[in-house]
Structure 1
C-alpha cells in the first residue's frame, strides 16, 4: 500500500495528520500559521467549504452570498495548481488580537506562474482563527528572492 500523501501546505506531514482535520471540521487550527496553511491546502484540494468557513466575519467577501463565493472559489481552485508553500515569518497576536503570517504561495495557471508573496492578517472569532485580509506582491516586483523577506522587510 502506498504511503498517505503529503499535505499540500508543505509542512512535511501527511495530509491526514495536518490539514485534513480542519477541512473535515474535526478540529480548529491552533494558530494563524496553521489556519493559513490549511487555506493553501484547501485551494490545492478544492475544499471550498473550508475556504468560506475560514473567512473572518469582517472579511469583505463574507457580505456576499455564500453560494456565489463557493462557486468562485471552486472555479479558481480548479483552474490552478498549487505545488508548494513557503512560510517565511509569523507574528503572534498584537493588542488588537491580529496575528500575521508572511508566506510565498506557489501557484500556476495553465503553465503560467501566478505565484505571490502575501502578508496576511488573522483574528480569532471566538471559535477559531480566521482570515481577515492580506497584502500581496508578485515576485517580479520584489528586490530579492521572495523567501528572503520577513514581516519587517515586506514592502508596503
Structure 2
C-alpha cells in the first residue's frame, strides 16, 4: 500500500491527519493558522464548498449567490497548481477577536508563476475560525525574499 499523501498545506503531516478532518466537517481548525492552512489545501484539492463554509459572514463574497461564488472558485482552483505554502508569521486574537496570519503561497497558472504574499485577517464566528479579509502583495514588490517578511515588516 502506498504511503498516505502529504498535506498540501506543507505542515509536514499527512493529509489524513492534517486538513482532511476539517474538509470532511469532522472538526474545526483550532486557530487562525490552521484555518489558513486548511483553506490553502482546499484550493489545492478543489474543496470549494469548504472555502465557502470558512468565509466569515462579514466577508464581501458572502453577499454573492453561493453557486456563483462556487463556480468562480472551481474555475480558479482547476486552472492553478498550489505546490507550496510558507507561513512566516502569526498574531493571536487581539481584544476585538481579530487574528492574523502572514503567508507566502506558491501558485502557478499554466506554468506561469502567480505566487503572492498575504496578510490574512480571521475572526471566530461562534462555530469556528473564519476568513475575514486579506491584503496581498506580489513577490516582486517585496524587498528581499518574500519568506523573510513578518507582520511588522509587511508593506502597507
Q: Distance in 2 between matches of 1:47 and 1:17?
A: 17
Q: 4+ residue stretches of structure 1 with deviation over 2 A?
A: none
Tell me by how many angstroms 1:153 deviates: 0.2
Q: SS of the counterpart of 2:75?
A: helix
Q: Distance in 1 between matches of 2:84 and 2:4?
A: 17
1:119 corresponds to: 119
1:17 corresponds to: 17
What 5-or-longer segments of structure 1 have no aligned partner? none
In the TM superposition, what whole-angstrom CA distance separates every residue of 1:71-109 from its partner, at most 9, and x where no partner exists? Answer: 000000000000010000000000110000000000000
Q: SS of the counterpart of 1:42?
A: helix
C-alpha RMSD of the superposition: 0.3
Q: Distance in 2 between matches of 1:21 and 1:64?
A: 27
Structure 1 residue 135 corresponds to structure 2 residue 135: yes
Tell me by how many angstroms 1:129 deviates: 0.0
Tell me by how many angstroms 1:126 deviates: 0.0
Tell me by how many angstroms 1:51 deviates: 0.3
Tell me by how many angstroms 1:27 deviates: 0.3
Tell me by how many angstroms 1:30 deviates: 0.1
Q: SS of the counterpart of 2:155?
A: coil
Tell me by how many angstroms 1:57 deviates: 0.2
Q: SS of the counterpart of 2:132?
A: strand
Matches within 5 A, 1:1-156: 1-156=1-156
TM-score normalized by structure 1?
1.00
Q: SS of the counterpart of 1:61?
A: helix
What 5-or-longer segments of structure 2 have no aligned partner? none
Tell me by how many angstroms 1:110 deviates: 0.2
Number of equivalent positions? 156
Tell me by how many angstroms 1:17 deviates: 0.3
TM-score normalized by structure 2?
1.00
